[in-house]
Amino acid sequence: MLHKVMTMTIVILGLFLFNATVMAAEEKVAKNEQKLLIPLRVDRTDYPDLYLCEAGIEGEAVWMLQARLKELGYDIEPNGIYSKDTSQVVKLFQTANGLQDNGIVSQSVWENLMVSEANEPCVAENNSEQEERLLIEIDVAKRSLTLYKNDIVFKQYPVAVGKSSTPSPLGEWKIVQKSLNWGNGFGTRWMGLNVPWGIFGIHGTNKPGSIGTFASHGCIRMLNRHVEDLYPNVKEGTMVRIVENGKMFPEDLKPVTLQKKSSGQRVVYVQSRLKELGLVFDRADGRFGNMTELAVKYYQVWHDLQPTGIVDEGTYRAMGMIK
């Protein structure tokens, strides 16, 4: 009888120890899983999607979103974390702008968000004779920004530009938005550009040591005191040319077929080369529209190519963009 009791006791103790071991292991796995839920950092400017998720999303893109919403009058304080409160404010913005109110920041939300709120004057004064011609030229190779007034150098500043993995967009753009005091990585001033494939601008910084280097996610960084000096000297609509050693296309170009409705940096390369070759049309803005298609057809006709309006390898070669 005693032997049976001892045997049962040993079995019960064994089961207890086994269950305790399993529970400890499960608790350890749960803790490890919690440790693995590292927030996703999003600093990109290519219209990144932002949304609520278990691990969470944080970064410069979230700060930009929150700063712009605050600027538009929404009750939000930027902290760079995409929280439930941020999602609710996004839903309010979506509703106000006729968008699906799902709290997801997609490209259409970004595009509506970054549109300038400046009002057009009801009566325009005829001051064309006095109006100064302004041009900002940024050379990414030299990491410099030059402001021209009436084709004369007015101001020059050192800048930081995009890293090789996130280059600054070469092309001819316009300032379409001016904002104050976004803070964090955007410093004290922001001047947004109308680049069609992402959110790019000229802004201040909280990393002054990066000026003069390839450091950004594509934007143009300036010292806060420099961007504050530049800001009142330019207006919305000012042209901004971003070049590399004075050019808008690289020497080692890899040809990719382009046609109407294409967009992106490669379209800028083709547009800038067409302008160099004497075909006059609007800006090299990365949008392959009717005017770019017409310019390509003209060039193809002049060089005995089939006038398709499509930039194929033969057209690249005829334009001297590849060997």
Residue ranges making up the domain that contains 73: 41-113
Give tens-digit pLDDT for 156-174. 999 999 999 999 999 999 9
Q: Are 74 and 93 in contact (CB under 8 A)?
A: yes
Residues 186, 219: Cα–Cα separation, whole Å: 10
Query: One of 203, 217, 226, 303 is an active-site residue; which one?
Result: 203
Helix (H) or strand (E) holding 175, with range, is strand 171-180
Residue 273 lies in a domain: yes
Note whether 91 and 149 are same-domain residues.
Answer: no
For residue 97, how many other CB atoms are within 10 A of its CB? 13
Query: One of 3, 217, 219, 226 is an active-site residue; which one?
Result: 219
Task: Return the pLDDT at 8.
Answer: 58
Is 152's pLDDT higher than 90? yes
Task: Return the pLDDT at 215.
Answer: 94
Note whether 283 and 193 are same-domain residues.
Answer: no
Note whether 154 and 235 are same-domain residues.
Answer: yes
Under 8 Å CB-to-CB from 2, ≥6 apart: which residues? none
Residue 90 lies in a domain: yes
Note whether 95 and 181 are same-domain residues.
Answer: no
Question: Percentage of residues in the chain with pLDDT exceeding 70?
Answer: 84
Residue 118 lies in a domain: no
Note whether 144 and 177 are same-domain residues.
Answer: yes
> Is 53 one of the catalytic residues?
no
Amino acid at 79: N
Kindly report which listed range (204-213, 255-264, 275-284) carries the lowest average pLDDT score.
275-284
Note whether 239 and 271 are same-domain residues.
Answer: no
Residue 119 confidence class, pLDDT cut points 50, 70, 90: very low
Q: State the CATH number of the domain containing residue 180.
A: 2.40.440.10
Residue 122 confidence class, pLDDT cut points 50, 70, 90: very low
Instruction: Look at the chain and report how many structural domains it folds into.
Output: 3
Residue 222 confidence class, pLDDT cut points 50, 70, 90: very high
Residues 323, 319: Cα–Cα separation, whole Å: 10
For residue 254, how many other CB atoms are within 10 A of its CB? 8
Is 28's pLDDT higher than 60? no
Mean pLDDT of the chain: 86
Residue 258 lies in a domain: no
For residue 67, how many other CB atoms are within 10 A of its CB? 22
Residues 261, 11: Cα–Cα separation, whole Å: 75
Task: Return the pLDDT at 68.
Answer: 92
Residues 242, 251: Cα–Cα separation, whole Å: 16
Amino acid at 167: P
What average pLDDT does this structure show over 118-123? 39
**Pick from 255, 220, 257, 267: which is nearest to 241 by CA?**
220
Give tens-digit pLDDT for 4-17. 545 555 555 555 55
3-state secondary structure of 147: strand
Task: Return the pLDDT at 37.
Answer: 74
Task: Return the pLDDT at 251.
Answer: 74
Residue that has been written with the tokens 């292991």 in this structure: 25
What average pLDDT does this structure show over 145-150? 96
> Is 226 one of the catalytic residues?
no
Note whether 101 and 142 are same-domain residues.
Answer: no
Longest dimension (CA), the chain: 115
**Pick from 220, 226, 104: which is nearest to 170 by CA?**
220
Task: Return the pLDDT at 252.
Answer: 76
Residue 143 confidence class, pLDDT cut points 50, 70, 90: very high
Residue 259 lies in a domain: no
Task: Return the pLDDT at 117.
Answer: 46
Note whether 138 and 101 are same-domain residues.
Answer: no
Helices H / strands E in the chain, number of each: 8, 12
Pairing of β 40-41 and β 57-58: parallel
